[in-house]
Structure 1
Amino acid sequence: MTLSLSHITRRFGKTEVLRGIDLEIDKGELIALLGPSGSGKTSLLRIIAGLDWPDAGTLAFDGQDWLSRSAAERKIGLVFQHYALFPHMKVRDNIAFGLNVLPRAERPGKGAVAETVDRLLSFLQIAPLGDRYPAELSGGQRQRVALGRAMAIQPRVLLLDEPFGALDAQVRRDLRRWLRGVHDSAGITTIFVTHDQEEAFELADRVVVMNEGRIEQTGRPDQIYDHPATPFVARFLGLNVELPVTLNAGRIEAHGLDLSALPRRAMPDGPATLFLRPADILPLPDPNAPFRLTEIASTGALLRIVAEDGTGCRIEAEVPRRAGTRLETGMNVLLRAEAGQVFPGSAQGRATAPAAASDITHALKENRP
């Protein structure tokens, strides 16, 4: 049972918030829609849920046209960031709500409803909380109740909109692991919206990176992390050191940098931009190297360093504190790149996605609209 979106477009006045979205989601997948605010994630989720309709495009589930069906007919489970629980209802009544409002012909009997609620309370590990009111629960407990209410109707697709955004960091981490276990046990096709990269990468089978109403890249978390397909994805995923380099017979070259660890790229010769994560830059003491350490600061586990050369090039790097004991301010260093991504074009915002990148990157780009 595949959820298929084709050429989905949505406008609000003159503003185009979705610009031709193409996406296939298989049964049982857990998909993360990842991107900054305003990228179109929630707008896309609302269209899937039946709370909004596109101006163009198609949406089908298992070959059936969902755009001709209401939200209730699609049998969608929805979980919001702020729970949206009924404060005057106890936990078990909140969970049972979706079943109790079904049309009479579809509504289970009271015994069946109670059995479903008890099963979900146990499954979601909140069995002792059934007779409490939402105000008596923690944020994490409320989110479990919200998930139980969404699952009670046995949805075809479960949609979560920033489900952990209102919780503190430790609770978010705990609930992420818990939700992945719930998903694997229940086998429900799940789509969740987030702007948190760690959350998307830890939870999702595939990540869909969105920007300005478009899908920039779709792939497994490790694929996207290691092989960002566009400069936007590279920057969004922390490759925030951008350096002008030269491509020469597939090799990446730059004065004062050791780029020998980077693989050859199937790209034309000429100027390019190299994107690096600070943690992938290793400073090696070398009295003949052009870069000099101008700043060293400890965060406890890491040393954050700044290296500059005589041309005004300034590079920030991070190294484990215990591995950087030999580094001192004023020392000349050779900067070795352990990993990175390169795109044709200059570093002044004109880098573009590679026309013929490595096989992995090329395969990833085939998923773009």
Structure 2
Amino acid sequence: MSIRIRQMMKRFGSTEVLRGVDLDVAQGELVALLGPSGSGKTTLLKIIAGLEWPDAGELRVEGEDWLQLEAQRRRIGFVFQHYALFPHMTVRDNIAFGLSVRPRAIRPGRDQIAAKVEELLSFLQIGHLGGRYPAELSGGQRQRVALGRALAIEPKLLLLDEPFGALDASIRRDLRRWLRSVHEATNSTTLFVTHDQEEAFELADRVVIMGAGRIEQVGTAEHIHDYPATPFVARFMGATVELPVTLRAGRAERAGWDLTALPRAALPEGRGTLFVRPGDVEVRPDPAGEARILSAFSTGSTWRLELEDAGGMRIEAELPRRGQPELQQGASARLRATAGRVFPGGTDDGAAQPSAPIPLSKEIRR
């Protein structure tokens, strides 16, 4: 099912939760809505499901106006973070529930329902659990049952709200790969909400970054990582080092820094801000260097440093522990940014326009 959302707006009291959201999702895509708490991603998902109603905007699925359809007529499969399984029902009965409560005119026969349930139990690799109750299952098994219940009605659209948020990290990793295989096998159109970057980028065809009720950027993992569109996205993606720079002839300059590894950008001359991840700061001890190491400690695999540069800015850097020269507190060092994103103006200038590398150094894959 293809989805078209235009100028979607939603307010709870005086709080604007969605502020003119536009989004298109193609048939068969798996799209992640990624952002911090309060960014509006779950509200957007609930509006698509018919569990919330917008104050303004358009929602069309396969060209049909879904704002004119009640939730039960949308054929949505919805999986919640906390499963929402019926505790008094067995696994088989939970999966069968959506089919068994359909109006009599469109309800499958008892044998058809039973066959569908057995098919899903096998597909989800939980055939041996059909007679158990939710309290007898692990978190990962419950999540599979919840997904089976959503798939049983053969939904036009599968929606997942933080589907793995209540699970341990190792179980989440296994279920992410499994969910991707389920998506490909069913060729469903799937949207899922998460605040976990690794989860979003591993699973999704495209990722939608949301912040404060707006879509900040839509793209692939590589594109968003390398070319954040706004300061918000840069910070969200871990670029916590923010350096005032001077822009001259498309180059960023700052005293005591080697910024020659950054691509030339189509930006107006004047002041700008460079966003860098701590892992993209190269530190070389040098008695003639203009930066000073304030602290250094090892996590086992990495060095974490706090430094002060020539302009008095305190910054953080992360370096692989192996193969590094000795890093002593109080030592002088040279600094080099191996990657980063430049925006014109200062960090307090609002929504700055992103830098445009010349030329684009890598093709963005779909």
TM-score, normalised via structure 2 length: 0.95
Q: CA deviation at 1:332?
A: 1.7
Residues 312-323 of structure 1 mapped to structure 2, 5 A cutoff: 312-323=312-323
Q: CA deviation at 1:310?
A: 5.3
Residue type of the alignment partner of 2:131: D
Instruction: Indicate yes or no: 2:323 matched with 1:354.
Output: no
- Kept in 1, the 8 Å contact 2:217–2:229? The answer is yes
Residues 17-166 of structure 1 mapped to structure 2, 5 A cutoff: 17-166=17-166
Instruction: Report Cα offsets for 1:325-349 as digits up to 9, x if no partner.
Output: 43332322111111111111124x3
Residue type of the alignment partner of 1:271: R
- SS state at 1:339 partner: coil
2:364 maps to: none
> Mean Cα displacement is larger for which, 329-338 or 48-57?
329-338
Residue type of the alignment partner of 2:234: A
Q: CA deviation at 1:324?
A: 2.1
Mapped to 2, the partners of 1:175 and 1:169 lie a distance apart of: 10
Q: CA deviation at 1:135?
A: 0.2
> Mean Cα displacement is larger for which, 3-12 or 321-330?
321-330
2:332 maps to: 332
Q: CA deviation at 1:197?
A: 1.0
Q: CA deviation at 1:178?
A: 1.2
Instruction: Report Cα offsets for 1:186-235 as digits up to 9, x if no partner.
Output: 11101011111111111111111111111111111111111110000111
1:293 maps to: 293
Mapped to 2, the partners of 1:250 and 1:265 lie a distance apart of: 5
Instruction: Report Cα offsets for 1:130-178 as digits up to 9, x if no partner.
Output: 1110000001110010000000001011000111111111111111111
Residue type of the alignment partner of 1:89: M
2:260 maps to: 260
- Kept in 1, the 8 Å contact 2:265–2:358? The answer is no
Mapped to 1, the partners of 2:65 and 2:340 lie a distance apart of: 43
Gaps of 5+ in 2: 361-366
- Kept in 1, the 8 Å contact 2:305–2:316? The answer is yes
- Kept in 2, the 8 Å contact 1:85–1:94? The answer is yes
Residue type of the alignment partner of 1:168: D
- Kept in 2, the 8 Å contact 1:345–1:352? The answer is no
Mapped to 2, the partners of 1:228 and 1:82 lie a distance apart of: 32
- Kept in 2, the 8 Å contact 1:272–1:351? The answer is no
Residue type of the alignment partner of 1:66: W
- SS state at 2:106 partner: coil
Percent identical pairs in the alignment equals: 63
- Kept in 1, the 8 Å contact 2:256–2:310? The answer is no
Residue type of the alignment partner of 2:42: T
Q: CA deviation at 1:360?
A: 8.8
Instruction: Report Cα offsets for 1:285-326 as digits up to 9, x if no partner.
Output: 222110121211111111101121354311110011103243
Residues 234-253 of structure 1 mapped to structure 2, 5 A cutoff: 234-253=234-253
Residue type of the alignment partner of 2:262: L
- Kept in 2, the 8 Å contact 1:76–1:155? The answer is yes
- Kept in 1, the 8 Å contact 2:296–2:303? The answer is yes
Consecutive aligned runs of 4 or more in structure 1 exceeding 3 Å deviation? 358-361
1:187 maps to: 187
- Kept in 2, the 8 Å contact 1:17–1:40? The answer is yes
- Kept in 2, the 8 Å contact 1:273–1:351? The answer is no
Number of residues paired by the alignment? 360
Gaps of 5+ in 1: 362-369
- SS state at 1:323 partner: coil
Q: CA deviation at 1:70?
A: 1.0
Mapped to 2, the partners of 1:145 and 1:233 lie a distance apart of: 35
> Mean Cα displacement is larger for which, 223-232 or 12-21?
12-21
Residue type of the alignment partner of 2:23: L
Q: CA deviation at 1:351?
A: 5.6
TM-score, normalised via structure 1 length: 0.94
